[in-house]
Structure 1
């Protein structure tokens, strides 16, 4: 099954512009790029009553990059925006989620964001990443060896989601026996976070998972306080050095769950989208097999073409003019990263997968102060996974029987199914 077979196409973007479609519509998630072009036809910057409960949309690469960097005009303190759209009675039932979620550092502006980011950065030093590279290489090779024995390959459950779990086990010590719960928790949070306007059920599911997550995580923290490990992010956070600051217990849980969520969901989607992109482009896949040094170029183009994060929301922090429009304090702004990464003013033939682009550019990890803290880890995982997979499974370089479908998460877009028959 190819979930894009009955999706929207570039041929009907003119009528889509007024069709009342939403980002969450299944066939839009499966192929959002013609829809983005229909939105772009209304203006690279425009107010849209239909999306995000009413928001300014930004679709140009340079505009999105500039505004992601502009922490004076655009505020990240937006965690209440979704909950505030609920009725009073519904909101009362999700106060625990609000309390826990509101501590994530992505929802803070400087100076608190700066302080939290500096503390969390200890776990992403060059030394820690190099240590992780060694363990990841061994783990990824073991997973590739398993796939080599199979004729029907499941690239989601059997590979893509197993790679970030290796990294998470190294970062924070998620035990392999607990991975099913962890996957469920992150899924519920991802659906809530990635929804354009989530309903009460999605928010309640996210709250239940966040509470379970905290209970599980508290036990790990207590263990690390008693027995810190070497080069383990959590150990670095619970045992401070001479001039280092410790996080409060609440902030420790919040930032660690943020990293766990981000490290799993987006990296899983990056790896699986990379596999699909190479299966769709067999000449490039053969190049990866023959010239492993080109794998970083492949990952850059996957990040551009199939960004795991499709949009970023901000709250307008002050009245200002942008692109000929007057933005007012308190309004919602949505930077459509998936659209910006395919801006025809920035990229020649933006819908084509080309690993020889120069310069290679994308906004999938954000920009400015909120640039993804784990971007180098995510890239490392994807490069190791794709390089070894296509370098060691020659059957993928032919024309294997391919089945895939996309999830229904417009914000954290990724594959729900990806398998091949060799």
Structure 2
């Protein structure tokens, strides 16, 4: 076991507890990086001005730097610091907060869900992106296309992607860009209008971050939905509890994003440790969520948990601006899955290959 493999392990949480016991911020000689595992260390890293979201010498991964996917990546607010992060965020975050949640639920309810493995896959991965695309003003047919292209584009964001996936991601990025250029030239939804009114940058940066809004929805929301289904299978006593409470605890207890990384821009001290310029810090969000100094009885699943605290959506300037929207989409989707008669007790799963995500891929016993 190591802190990266842990993300897709059947139960990484005892291992995370061992890491916390060794110290909040420790150096892993095998991986040649620092590991922040305690709530205190994670908070310190995420708040530190010298901890950047990308290495200074490689703002765009070399594997995609020469294509359209790389051009989009380089403008994403979640992959930038400073003004390149603040400008799109200041337009997108307040606009998302104004989305009518009844509208979100209605859009989820229009999705057809079949009680089989393919139906679950589409509900987890395709439906959330379709909802976001519809909120932006795309037609139902366009939403389906946006969803499929987002899946192709998102593949390149993982270091595990292969050459064929990266080539497909460049094509998908180009096509997504075309869809958004056309949408911006037409009459579109209230959400996109609100974002446009607040946006102070150029159109290419806006388009890149609209693509980013879809890609951010793709895997993280899928994992939230899937991990909620697992929680309800394992603890059926919570099926009668309001789903909002269940989802709130799922995102703390078993988050879809297990870790993130920060890159040290200059030598500094973090949580009592000296880190050097160029060092990499693996930030174990999921481990911090289970820190008993952050949450009492952290290994117990409690939908009614008082004073719940979580790093699953990040913290500080890079905290996910779409948390409210993601939670609503996930909750409405889980509700639809249950109402369509999916038998949770028949589910089996493995985790999608990933260095940081915990996203179950379902099948049915005997299928």
TM-score class, shorter: 0.7 to 0.9
Distance of 1:189 and 1:363 partners within structure 2 = 25
SS of 1:400 mapped into structure 2: helix
How many residues get paired?
A: 363
Aligned twin of 1:23: 4
Distance of 1:371 and 1:45 partners within structure 2 = 21
* Alignment equivalent of 1:378, drawn from 317, 326, 333: 326
Q: Which of 311-320 and 154-163 deviates more?
A: 154-163
Aligned twin of 1:350: 298
Report whether the alignment pairs 1:74 with 2:51. yes
Report whether the alignment pairs 1:406 with 2:361. no
Report whether the alignment pairs 1:273 with 2:227. yes
Report whether the alignment pairs 1:95 with 2:76. no
Q: Which runs of 4+ in 1 moved over 6 A?
A: none
Report whether the alignment pairs 1:138 with 2:106. yes
Distance of 2:263 and 2:71 partners within structure 1 = 19
Aligned twin of 2:268: 320
Q: CA-to-partner distance for each residue in 1:361-394, whole Å, 9 max, x for gaps?
A: 111110111110111100111222334544x467
SS of 1:161 mapped into structure 2: helix
Report whether the alignment pairs 1:215 with 2:193. no
Counterpart contact for 1:186–1:265, Cα < 8 Å: no
User: Alpha-carbon deviation of 1:298?
Assistant: 1.0
Aligned twin of 1:255: 209
| Cα distance, 1:100–1:220 mapped onto 2, change above 3 Å | closer
Distance of 1:393 and 1:325 partners within structure 2 = 52
User: Alpha-carbon deviation of 1:344?
Assistant: 3.2
Distance of 1:344 and 1:69 partners within structure 2 = 21
Counterpart contact for 2:130–2:144, Cα < 8 Å: no
Aligned twin of 1:105: 77
User: Alpha-carbon deviation of 1:139?
Assistant: 3.7
| Cα distance, 1:80–1:308 mapped onto 2, change above 3 Å | farther
Aligned twin of 1:185: 152
Q: Which of 110-119 and 37-46 deviates more?
A: 37-46
Distance of 2:105 and 2:63 partners within structure 1 = 46
Structure 2 residue ranges without an equivalent (≥5) = none
| Cα distance, 1:30–1:410 mapped onto 2, change above 3 Å | farther
Distance of 1:92 and 1:61 partners within structure 2 = 33
Structure 1 residue ranges without an equivalent (≥5) = 1-15, 85-90, 193-197, 289-293
Counterpart contact for 2:352–2:358, Cα < 8 Å: yes
Report whether the alignment pairs 1:35 with 2:12. no
User: Alpha-carbon deviation of 1:331?
Assistant: 1.2
Q: CA-to-partner distance for each residue in 1:231-280, whole Å, 9 max, x for gaps?
A: 142x555xx54xx5443233123212211110121111111111111111
* TM-score, normalization by structure 2: 0.86
| Cα distance, 1:80–1:175 mapped onto 2, change above 3 Å | farther
Counterpart contact for 1:119–1:245, Cα < 8 Å: yes
Distance of 1:57 and 1:77 partners within structure 2 = 16
Distance of 2:185 and 2:285 partners within structure 1 = 43
Counterpart contact for 1:140–1:385, Cα < 8 Å: yes
| Cα distance, 1:34–1:282 mapped onto 2, change above 3 Å | same
Distance of 1:114 and 1:224 partners within structure 2 = 24
Distance of 1:60 and 1:92 partners within structure 2 = 32
* Alignment equivalent of 1:167, drawn from 125, 128, 131: 131
* Alignment equivalent of 1:63, drawn from 41, 44, 51: 41
Aligned twin of 1:4: none
User: Alpha-carbon deviation of 1:301?
Assistant: 0.8
Q: CA-to-partner distance for each residue in 1:319-378, whole Å, 9 max, x for gaps?
A: 222333211222111211111111133334433322122211111110111110111100
| Cα distance, 1:417–1:80 mapped onto 2, change above 3 Å | farther
Larger radius of gyration: 1
